Structure 1
């Protein structure tokens, strides 16, 4: 969520500086009673903190005896502080925001670090993929918050000029053929041929998307790597096929990714819902020229994809567990607050009842008459229940290296994935 959170609001929002001193109320496993009030300390970053502060103001109207102290810090600073605090039991907040991809690592390393929230999380009310994300070792480790369901953003003007119907892109082969037509027909404002989509050949994003459509991760439910499974190899071959077709525009890093919108150099972008904010911020002159459809599907695929999102944990040693749970449940299930968080800060809620709020039914006029949110709402419900592993982030570096070998050096997919499997087994295989 580091990229998604800061980019959706203004495209240039950076993480605000962390105060050099932590509030003394944060020490010794929770805040507890202070001056006749119950004090809870909250750690979160930029827009996540702003949304929690808004929830806090509303909560305190009916709970004047609860004081909420909010500490703003970047994600890296939260994780550094969290690791130390969970190990020692000191200096930790009551409520902590954490990116979904990091949660299982902390839950595995510190199995008693977070409160079990099974009593306040009604699983059926949340996107299944988010429940899968927060559930580990038969315990709901965190309250699910925002999600990143994906779809295909596309330029309606480029598609129309090339005579391509976006609804006809059922497979990735369809996308390749459409990309060739668009490149032969359409020009950017600077006069260059328009490429079909952006791709970083050194990152796992596109391979991960393909693999997710097949309902597989890099690890199985027992924590063993499965990067040489039939599904994983199929996903890598399909991703390489799209890259090698020549319809992709190479980029390196987030800034260059944004420039594909600024320069109007691509006809479509397969990305999460939070890309709405980046497109609006970086391409204001393209209003009315974008729309959204489902992603093309890999052969045998049946699932949607997700990219990004965060959750919230409660320190198991908080002195006020019941009040912390009560506030968190309120903040995460009040549908008006969730809608406000999405509209103002780009935090797409995983709490399904939120979608009844008006903002989700009226859509966004920047994207024309089609309600851009409908596709994401439906896709969010169809993300596969993929096994999580505390080793996923560490393994990602090795997977990225394999992607680079295949995309840039044209190395054999099956051999590269078998070599990757052996490497990951050496590091992570369960004995």
Structure 2
């Protein structure tokens, strides 16, 4: 996992001279995630310790996901109230690269000497016409989270699960022993599907940018997920449709499922929304 304490910067906003005082240059930061606020607060401490002559005072505002992105769009259009830094979620990012007049700061010069430390494919996502307009906060490796209380009762060791076939067999043991599903499959988000096709070198588009959603690999993968639910009966559709819903948090917090496939950043969701699972969750690589 690669973690860098940077994200996209927005043009049109500079700290006023009045802000460049002893307490540091004031910067406004918008985010949609409370954990990100905590992370950047720690990074500011690190920065100020390393660069005492260039201190930062970060004013962070946490908005609900949709509201933050809508507010950012409106502010950029109006040319007023734009934050210095914004935590734009990947799924919304392309909205800010439309047209020829990009309202974001060109960050290309900032990473020229550090580019080898980034995942180049990720930088491509934030680029247009050879210019880089955003940087990853992190690269979220996808992993499997196991409820060890349930796994132990079923006599299953996650370290013995090497392949998806191993996972299926382990799931059958869990269902037989506990009467509960091994996992949940999202129906309103792609997190249960996209990592599996990525494992096989597939995706939604080919190298030429043509939509290939219905290619053979993707179809077989979707059929595999359907088999887990309908034939093997080791999976159920996710309560609430995705792993960020209140229905799912309640379900999982009460031991509703023995495992869940999500990126590494999902650790924070356990801390915030599933506290009863404290000390019970083990993290392992995805089955091959």
Q: Name the TM-score, length of structure 2 as normaliser.
A: 0.75
Q: Is the 8 A contact 1:36 1:65 kept in 2?
A: no
| Alpha-carbon distance in structure 2 between the residues aligned to 1:211 and 1:89 | 41
User: Which stretch shifts more, 115-124 or 31-40?
Assistant: 31-40
The Cα of 1:247 is off from its aligned counterpart by 0.7
The Cα of 1:196 is off from its aligned counterpart by 0.7
Task: State which of 144, 151, 156 in structure 2 corresponds to 1:152.
Answer: 144
Q: Is the 8 A contact 1:153 1:293 kept in 2?
A: yes
Going from structure 1 to structure 2, the CA distance change for 1:275 and 1:29 (only over 3 Å counts) comes to closer
Going from structure 1 to structure 2, the CA distance change for 1:175 and 1:88 (only over 3 Å counts) comes to same
The equivalent of 1:395 in structure 2 is none
- 1:295 maps onto 2:286 in alignment: yes
Going from structure 1 to structure 2, the CA distance change for 1:33 and 1:230 (only over 3 Å counts) comes to same
SS in 2 for 1:41: strand
Task: State which of 97, 105, 115 in structure 2 corresponds to 1:123.
Answer: 115
Going from structure 1 to structure 2, the CA distance change for 1:159 and 1:30 (only over 3 Å counts) comes to closer
The Cα of 1:271 is off from its aligned counterpart by 1.7
| Alpha-carbon distance in structure 2 between the residues aligned to 1:35 and 1:132 | 37
The equivalent of 1:169 in structure 2 is 161
| Alpha-carbon distance in structure 1 between the residues aligned to 2:58 and 2:279 | 42
| Alpha-carbon distance in structure 1 between the residues aligned to 2:82 and 2:209 | 29
| Alpha-carbon distance in structure 2 between the residues aligned to 1:266 and 1:84 | 41
The equivalent of 2:63 in structure 1 is 73
The Cα of 1:248 is off from its aligned counterpart by 1.0
| Alpha-carbon distance in structure 1 between the residues aligned to 2:265 and 2:19 | 42
SS in 1 for 2:109: coil
- Listed one character per residue, the Cα deviations across residues 15-73 of structure 1 (whole Å, up to 9, x for unaligned) are xxxxxxxxxxxxx9224533383654333343433443454466457246866554443
Larger RCO (alpha carbons 8 Å, 6+ apart): 1
Task: State which of 109, 131, 140 in structure 2 corresponds to 1:139.
Answer: 131
| Alpha-carbon distance in structure 1 between the residues aligned to 2:254 and 2:100 | 46
Q: Is the 8 A contact 1:43 1:70 kept in 2?
A: yes
SS in 1 for 2:110: coil
Q: Name the TM-score, length of structure 1 as normaliser.
A: 0.53
- 1:224 maps onto 2:210 in alignment: yes
- 1:258 maps onto 2:246 in alignment: no
| Alpha-carbon distance in structure 2 between the residues aligned to 1:71 and 1:290 | 31
- Structure 1 residue runs of 5 or longer lacking an equivalent are 1-27, 187-192, 298-431
| Alpha-carbon distance in structure 1 between the residues aligned to 2:215 and 2:247 | 33
The equivalent of 1:43 in structure 2 is 30
Q: Is the 8 A contact 2:150 2:258 kept in 1?
A: yes
Going from structure 1 to structure 2, the CA distance change for 1:212 and 1:105 (only over 3 Å counts) comes to farther
Going from structure 1 to structure 2, the CA distance change for 1:43 and 1:270 (only over 3 Å counts) comes to closer
- Structure 2 residue runs of 5 or longer lacking an equivalent are 1-10
Greater helix share, 1 or 2?
1
Q: Is the 8 A contact 2:167 2:287 kept in 1?
A: yes
The equivalent of 1:359 in structure 2 is none
- Listed one character per residue, the Cα deviations across residues 178-207 of structure 1 (whole Å, up to 9, x for unaligned) are 211221122xxxxxx121112234543322
| Alpha-carbon distance in structure 1 between the residues aligned to 2:89 and 2:61 | 17
| Alpha-carbon distance in structure 1 between the residues aligned to 2:281 and 2:61 | 38
Q: Is the 8 A contact 2:97 2:128 kept in 1?
A: yes
SS in 2 for 1:179: helix
- Listed one character per residue, the Cα deviations across residues 245-269 of structure 1 (whole Å, up to 9, x for unaligned) are 2111333321222123322122211
The Cα of 1:102 is off from its aligned counterpart by 1.9
- Listed one character per residue, the Cα deviations across residues 376-419 of structure 1 (whole Å, up to 9, x for unaligned) are xxxxxxxxxxxxxxxxxxxxxxxxxxxxxxxxxxxxxxxxxxxx
Task: State which of 90, 97, 102 in structure 2 corresponds to 1:100.
Answer: 90
The equivalent of 1:388 in structure 2 is none
Q: Is the 8 A contact 1:42 1:68 kept in 2?
A: yes
Give the total of aligned pairs. Answer: 264
Going from structure 1 to structure 2, the CA distance change for 1:265 and 1:112 (only over 3 Å counts) comes to closer
The equivalent of 2:16 in structure 1 is 33
Task: State which of 40, 44, 52 in structure 2 corresponds to 1:52.
Answer: 40
The equivalent of 1:8 in structure 2 is none
Going from structure 1 to structure 2, the CA distance change for 1:109 and 1:223 (only over 3 Å counts) comes to farther
Coordinate RMSD, CA, aligned: 3.1
**1:198-217 to 2 correspondences below 5 Å:** 198-217=184-203
The equivalent of 2:7 in structure 1 is none
